[in-house]
Chain A
């Protein structure tokens, strides 16, 4: 699948991902003659080097140039947000660079193609699946979480909102209404809130998730076989850990804030 960001430094390159989650300083962070990271987390030579953004001394730009001179430069750089030091280093060293990429979707070892002219990052061997994920809100302000079975195909054993695939040709909002009825027998009509899609990586799959929030009134769920149990949970009790599908807490809080804003 192809991630769309912003073109920073031109050129196209392929390589395997070497990813750090935080910000990075080339000065002090890497050996310019060998490409070894000083933390022992790997070697940048020929890799698609992925990190949140640059920091530290402006000399870092010249360290990138020095890496290039030694033939140890990264094949490409991918950031969440570009800043002056790494941008300068990438451009003067002719290293393709793209930013505004959700680096959570890139895993160490992924084979990727970075296109610094178009601002894209293509992850090989992954596919994208479009799904809906709906928060049901009851009259006491609680949110319905479903418990997935341990043999579920995605995120087994975790709790989630009411989620399911969008069928080919199906309207996204209709898919949400349909999935809610199939999994809980609850009837809903118009969503109280929705959000632009979020993206969640699971193995070779990138889920393109369309979040919705519906009011369920006083209806109680009747589960089908897809989930093993369920419960109404106060929004503050939704955790940020692995017991819940990634980003559930974020998405619920954002949509609750948006309906609070409307009232």
Chain B
């Protein structure tokens, strides 16, 4: 692998221990994926924020990094944490968990990472442009920025993305390179146009093709549709980039003649739906996987305005970023009548196992992870259908 003189010096420790360790990691990862050199990045998005997922090993790692003086050199945002910073008691979070979680956030802050913790930084906190090279972790977010925006990132892991953020560089391989962004399969898709049907479409496509780079025809996803579809495809499969004819910026760049075609319509969406639904009743309705957008907040508030929550046995969590919660004060007021609007956390990375057993969600991504990461049985429905339970 070719390193510039400056990069060699960093590897030799000239810029301190934390930069040397970061360079060792970026170089090692580049090596195993055949990178020829490093490439400058304009932003990073880091996973490994919830104490629930990274544990004591991860916490100690961050403490050592921070103590070593690690500082990010490009704008960097962080994934959702295991609780709302202020309202964790409403989420039934134990004190000991809360203390460690708050410590993790402090450590990232001390390294210069933006303290907003969201899986949708592309909605305002960290927005790349077409052609930008970035180093993003969080499978749903990196797929969105690769696909809908046309920025370029591989599927970075937490420490790899942090190392790239410190150096302002990542290894140049995979989806950073034009040729590797070529579609591998055509999806003849059909939805009913609802956000929920795009979630099921993502689930069905992930189930059908696994990985690769799907090229969609027959659909016109909006930002919210693409948000949930990206998340679903990265959870049921390992899709990190897709194109949509007439919608995504790079769709027209490739000759797609001769590619295999797969039809994904009502039947496949139904199969995806059946696979995700494993419960009949629910104790918690958790919305915001990925985090609710301004439009989703508005739609939910409009629907709930003037209604009353009748079923007190079912809790509702609305999950969004602190930025969007702050911007949507009117909507939040209406929604709070039904349940807390939680910032910078979600039901998947919060320790809800032991508190709830059955959770309702409108997200295929959450439907994939709630059983494995949170021991939940799942009801997966459109938001309005979920709300019927409490109205």
Residues of A whose CB lies within 8 Å of any CB of B are: 6, 8-10, 32, 58-59, 61-67, 69, 81-85, 87-88, 90-92, 97, 99
Contacts and interface: CB of A to CB of B under 8 A. Distances in A.
Given A85-B157, A99-B32, A59 B55 contact: yes
The listed residue with most B CB atoms (<10 A of its CB), out of A82, A83, A91, is A91
Contact of A84 (B24, B29, B47, B58): B29
Given A67-B57, A88-B157, 7 more contacts: A32-B57, A58-B158, A62-B54, A62-B57, A64-B57, A88-B25, A88-B159
A59 B160 contact: no
A12 to B, nearest CB: 15
Contact of A65 (B29, B47, B60): B60
Interface string B47-69: 11000011111101100000000
A88 B57 contact: no
Q: How large is the interface on B (under 10, 10 to 19, 20 to 34, 35 or more residues)?
A: 20 to 34
B31 interface: yes
Contact of B57 (A6, A10, A66, A85): A66
B103 interface: no
Given A59-B54, A84-B157, A88-B159, A9 B61 contact: no
Contacts of A90: 28
18 contacts: A6-B31, A8-B28, A32-B56, A58-B157, A62-B55, A65-B60, A66-B55, A84-B32, A84-B160, A85-B157, A87-B28, A87-B29, A88-B157, A90-B28, A91-B28, A92-B25, A92-B61, A99-B32
A32 B58 CA distance: 12
B60 A66 contact: yes
Interface of B: 21, 24-25, 28-29, 31-32, 47-48, 53-58, 60-61, 157-160
A91 B157 contact: no
B32 A87 contact: yes
Contacts of A10: 24
A69 B21 contact: no
A10 B58 CA distance: 21
A83 B21 contact: no
Contacts of A8: 28, 31-32
Nearest to B56: A66
A91 B18 CA distance: 12
B36 to A, nearest CB: 15
Contacts of A99: 32
B379 to A, nearest CB: 26
Contacts of B32: 8, 81-84, 87, 99
B21 A61 contact: no
